[in-house]
Chains A and B, each alone.
Chain A
Amino acid sequence: MGEFKVHRVRFFNYVPSGIRCVAYNNQSNRLAVSRTDGTVEVYNLSANYFQEKFFPGHESRATEALCWAEGQRLFSAGLNGEIMEYDLQALNIKYAVDAFGGPIWSMAASPSGSQLLVGCEDGSVKLFQITPDKIQFERNFDRQKSRILSLSWHPSGTHIAAGSIDYISVFDVKSGSAVHKMIVDRQYMGVSKRKCIVWGVAFLSDGTVISVDSAGKVQFWDSATGTLVKSHLIANADVQSIAVAEQEDSFVVGTAEGTVFHFQLVPVTSNSSEKQWVRTKPFQHHTHDVRTVAHSPTALISGGTDTHLVIRPLMEKVEVKNYDAALRKITFPHRRLISCSKKRQLLLFQFAHHLELWRLGSTVATGKNGDTLPLSKNADHLLHLKTKGPENIICSCISPCGSWIAYSTVSRFFLYRLNYEHDNISLKRVSKMPPFLRSALQILFSEDSTKLFVASNQGALHIVQLSGGSFKHLHAFQPQSGTVEAMCLLAVSSDGNWLAASGTSAGVHVYNVKQLK
């Protein structure tokens, strides 16, 4: 082993954004997670919880709802009033449709996956038909007085439950009219709160509607009669989310106290068929509000304001105890947010809307293994580069020589040249970017800083020759056989001859840079 100086970098003040919604897809065992800054991430739960896909956020988009529809299609809706579909191959937004109902608070795909339902600020529930390449507005349901905060389909697809402020409505899908209106008690521990917000509803196949509300209650309603069956007071604060297992034998709720409660349907006695819902285990893995929960067949998934994504496996469903059966807490970003320039001891930090360039501190002292050396020169904040526009930065990179910085947003690609004059740094934007370099999913410099590799969202890999203050486009590796597969990971060999790229379909392509093959 060689001798290393270890820098303790404590000046990367990266603040991840909170998790707003999670959506679990049972067929592909994938989990879509949206954050408050509009970012949407897709995790593959079978592949060691790897973050496969990433859609950068946008300042004006606040995702409020996320759902999977038939054929692995991912939709999101937000407070800008638009429904968006994501292209999971090309890793971009396919289209956005305005629902014309004000901010959208909730969205639910029908059990068949062919219809989409959104609940809007103006109290309307809108039904959309999902066509193979778009979504089509079908009709409005009876308009309610206040915003629709939660929606749930009956598994047969004939009825829906919609949670609003102070009441829950049950609609008949065929007629679009409200069948029942169930008023939720405002009382909270004897004190009348102003409003009782129904944060989540779940419609079970036996006609039971489970609601969670801001008074800390989990309530069971009979949708046929519109009556309250049972009420569990579980928290002193809001209960913000609910998710039911596919078998309908358990569900999970998340509270604003950071606790996740598991409810199970257990038989009352061993020899009777009568069953009851019982609150079983509480899990306290969060420090803040649990905004969203999901229930996979083997695990409870929860996420919230504290930005952690917690995957808690259910022990009774796990056959073998292995690494997959352990509790998972995803806190670190899966993407590369830091790049470094070895030559100049520089670090480039990527934030949502700006970049920071730091020079590492240095020391003259020497010491034994494990010693903490005193710094003779503190770390310097050299550069603060803000992006223009509302879009988040997708990726960024600094060249090993430290004289180039490249970053990209969804619509633009930026390349800067850095000039060092003692302690002063001058930055010069390289203008006249070629039109094909509009957006990049991944950027990489070669070891000698003479080549720039850009994975564009069209699936092509571009090689750019950098020399002095200018650049020259060398080559573009086009994706094979016309598929639109986004490359999201790049690696280059140290001699600069070989370039490896991996895409969303989990294949690895190796290119020869010299021969441009």
Chain B
Amino acid sequence: MVDEETIRVVRCGGSELNFRRAVFSADSKYIFCVSGDFVKVYSTVTEECVHILHGHRNLVTGIQLNPNNHLQLYSCSLDGTIKLWDYIDGILIKTFIVGCKLHALFTVAQAEDSVFAIVNKEKPDIFQLVSVKLPKSSSQEVEAKELSFVLDYINQSPKCIAFGNEGVYVAAVREFYLSVYFFKKKTTSRFTLSSSRNKKHAKNNFTCVACHPTEDCIASGHMDGKIRLWRNFYDDKKYTYTCLHWHHDMVMDLAFSVTGTSLLSGGCESVLVEWRDATEKNKEFLPRLGATIEHISVSPAGDLFCTSHSDNKIIIIHRNLEASAVIQGLVKDRSIFTGLMIDPRTKALVLNGKPGHLQFYSLQSDKQLYNLDIIQQEYINDYGLIQIELTKAAFGCFGNWLATVEQRQEKETELELQMKLWMYNKKTQGFILNTKINMPHEDCITALCFCNAEKSEQPTLVTASKDGYFKVWILTDDSDIYKKAVGWTCDFVGSYHKYQATNCCFSEDGSLLAVSFEEIVTIWDSVTWELKCTFCQRAGKIRHLCFGRLTCSKYLLGATENGILCCWNLLSCALEWNAKLNVRVMEPDPNSENIAAISQSSVGSDLFVFKPSEPRPLYIQKGISREEVQWGVFVPRDVPESFTSEAYQWLNRSQFYFLTKSQVTAPLKKGSHFLLAEESLPTTPFYFILGKHRQHQDEKLNETLENELVQLPLTENIPAVSELLHTPAHVLPSAAFLCSMFVNSLLLSKETKSAKEIPEDVDMEEEKESEDSDEENDFIEKVQDTNNTGLGEDIIHQLSKSEEKELRKFRKIDYSWIAAL
């Protein structure tokens, strides 16, 4: 039973669809692909995700159809289990516990009761191919410990293993050799290619392997783009091979068609090549697939192919080489410069996508909505070429305007900079280029923001640049005799002592503009563009800057590179508070006063949620991720949630998403996970029960947050207790009445659902009431301590003091609770 009131980080989407080869169902109606800890079942016709098979506790590393029952699917995971699924209903049938990390899975129809898997047992780099005997048992969970070793010292990637000719042999490639193991003879033949350092053979490395379905023919792909077809490999001496060479770079994957008459190959050229009859002259192409082909798979029925691409998409292709469907996930093979944004219209997440594109990604459906081509130039895929990068983007005026900045810097002094402003067109439901500004600044643009005040009559954009200036751009009438038009022009250029402008931010009402110049924050009047005041803390360059919202709009927050978070009061023009916190990401919630900050420490990233008015965080979650969090964003909820607990109220109206950079299994390839902080979802590796870690974290906090003004939050994981504590005593009912309720709430209750039924207005009011005095804080702390030491009866005695100070409000709740009981 999962405690409802805990916040956990859930890897929610954007996981790689292209991690492994996709698998077709026997009738080609469905396609399966691994996606993080899940297996996704898509329809090949509608491209819709039909089922998500969840149950694995770690990355799913391989899926295969059950050769004995084509309505079942095997999947293996790093959590050491092989699971058997009924994919049509999305039901887990069986779990086989193997016990060691499984890196890939293979099934062979002839080996009836066993499957093959790649494991690494002893050393971390040495992988073995083993045969796992799956015992026949009726129980749900079966231990499958009977492993028999097949091949040692193999490549980790499943692309480097192929079973051929009805499971008679298995071919494995690694570096410069191909080994073929014959199951009947129990012999291994090994063929080595020349690996000398000279130019001709320098890139002879094997990259992938595939076996002909009916003939004894092994196709291997190589680093230099060659495909070799090996035959006669029973004999160490008489073996022979043919070369097919079209690819100019590494062959990423190979697949034979079901009948074996054609061979499919793909690589970074983004062209699917079909070699018919394995002859060099007889080949067909499907070009312009958009990104590097990572995997190719063929449906068992033979009517469909599919290619997985490096930009996280799967293209389903007909036998006649016509692309029929595209399943597009979050594109993330490149670094994200723009950060995470929310399109106010579609509520889609917007970030860098394909090279030169901005992608609109739906978080709800884990699907890309569309791509906006910003740079509008042909992308040339060449190593070492300096590309035009889309560096900044911002939405303004409720999604009516989009500003983008692209830059290309070949040398220190040669900067190409371009700013584009896009207008939303209601007719076409898309963005149309309105203004293109060449070299808006002399140096890189560091920040970009729109004035999003509701009352502002004129759209305003501010850009801050390293050249020491910030520029204000406004929309003006650009009509001529031919047509009515609008365009953007520069309205004001501001600077401060030639310092580099690093950040800019408009206040919520648009009346003030804050621009940070290295260590100094300047406040400008947005009407007259006068410098109002400056703040200087001499605490390092300002990294993040944001105004408070709603009730906290008089506060301005700045995070510096030296790890100080400052809050200035704009009315008094003085520092309200500061805290030592190395803030990496600071994001205001558009629907509340709350601000989320993610700090980076050596052990991981921590999340702090606070209101600018108070130096005391509302919520702390330690170690949300081991890796550095790159970007975060609040996403407004369509339907507000109602969390009774104060600590989670910040999630009522918005969800917080963040993006980390993580080292994916392939070295030198950077990928990222998409993470979401939300509650009550099935257990994941990011599962933290707050209560369990409370004590431990408090200790840590005391160490790290020494000399701080920030006080620690003292939250309870039991709503009833916190309600008791936060309710004025004079409105509380009698102690006898509360006692049984309180004890009930301390038990692991089954009626957790009842908490949800608490009306939302209660929470709102409580929120106001929860602003306690310092005295009360101390008191609560005491309670907390005793609470932790032993949840005994004496607590109730202490509580009885406050009972008298109960609000009438609480009675309302009482009745609902009683009803639930």
Contact = CB atoms under 8 A, between A and B. Distances in A.
Q: Categorize the interface residue count of chain A.
A: 20 to 34
B165 A269 contact: yes
A423 B42 CA distance: 94
A271 B240 CA distance: 18
B243 A281 contact: yes
A234 B215 CA distance: 22
Contacts, number: 54
Nearest to B169: A270
B234 A270 contact: yes
Given A233-B279, A234-B279, A266 B243 contact: no
A316 B240 contact: yes
B216 A270 contact: yes
A374 interface: no
Interface in B746-779: none
A270 B280 contact: no
A278 interface: yes
A268 B241 contact: no
Contacts of A143: none
A267 interface: yes
B165 A216 contact: no
Contacts of B278: 278
B232 A216 contact: no
B346 interface: no
B168 interface: yes
B242 A279 contact: yes
Contacts of B215: 268-269, 276
Contact of B231 (A234, A235, A236, A266): A266
Contacts of A281: 240-243
A280 interface: yes
A270 B232 CA distance: 8
Given A266-B232, A267-B216, A233 B281 contact: yes
B242 A267 contact: no
A115 interface: no
B280 A264 contact: no
Centre residue among B214, B231, B278 by max chain A CB count within 10 A: B231
A278 B243 contact: no
Given A267-B232, A269-B215, A270-B234, A280 B279 contact: no
B238 to A, nearest CB: 5
Nearest to A235: B281
Contacts of A276: 215
A281 B232 CA distance: 14
A232 interface: yes
B279 A279 contact: yes
A282 interface: yes
Contact of B237 (A232, A271, A316): A316
Given A267-B232, A269-B216, A270-B168, A232 B279 contact: yes
B242 A280 contact: yes
A103 B229 CA distance: 44
A264 B239 CA distance: 10
Interface string A210-240: 0000001000000000000000111110000
A513 B282 CA distance: 70
A270 B167 CA distance: 13
A281 B242 CA distance: 5
A104 B282 CA distance: 36
Contacts of A236: 281
Contacts of A233: 279, 281-282
Interface in B236-294: 237-243, 277-282
A216 B279 CA distance: 13
Interface string B206-247: 000000001110000000000001011010011111110000
Contact of A268 (B216, B234, B243, B280): B216
Nearest to A274: B215
A234 B280 contact: yes
Nearest to A189: B281
Nearest to A218: B279
A280 B215 CA distance: 15
Contact of B238 (A269, A271, A282, A316): A316
A234 B281 contact: yes
A30 to B, nearest CB: 27
A321 to B, nearest CB: 12
A453 B215 CA distance: 67
A278 B237 contact: no
Contact of A264 (B165, B240, B281): B240
Nearest to B280: A234
Contacts of A235: 281
B281 A316 contact: no
A282 to B, nearest CB: 7
Centre residue among B232, B238, B240, B241 by max chain A CB count within 10 A: B240
A280 B238 CA distance: 12
Contacts of B216: 267-270
Interface of B: 165, 168, 182, 214-216, 229, 231-232, 234, 237-243, 277-282
Q: Which 6 A-B pairs have the closest CB atoms?
A: A233-B281, A280-B240, A266-B231, A266-B232, A269-B216, A268-B215
Given A268-B214, A278-B242, A281-B242, 20 more contacts: A216-B281, A232-B277, A232-B279, A233-B279, A233-B282, A234-B280, A236-B281, A264-B231, A268-B216, A269-B168, A269-B215, A270-B168, A270-B182, A278-B229, A278-B240, A279-B242, A280-B240, A280-B241, A281-B243, A316-B240
28 contacts: A216-B281, A232-B277, A233-B279, A233-B282, A234-B279, A236-B281, A264-B231, A264-B232, A264-B240, A266-B231, A266-B240, A267-B232, A269-B168, A269-B214, A269-B216, A270-B165, A270-B168, A271-B168, A278-B229, A278-B231, A278-B240, A278-B242, A278-B278, A279-B279, A280-B241, A281-B241, A282-B243, A316-B238
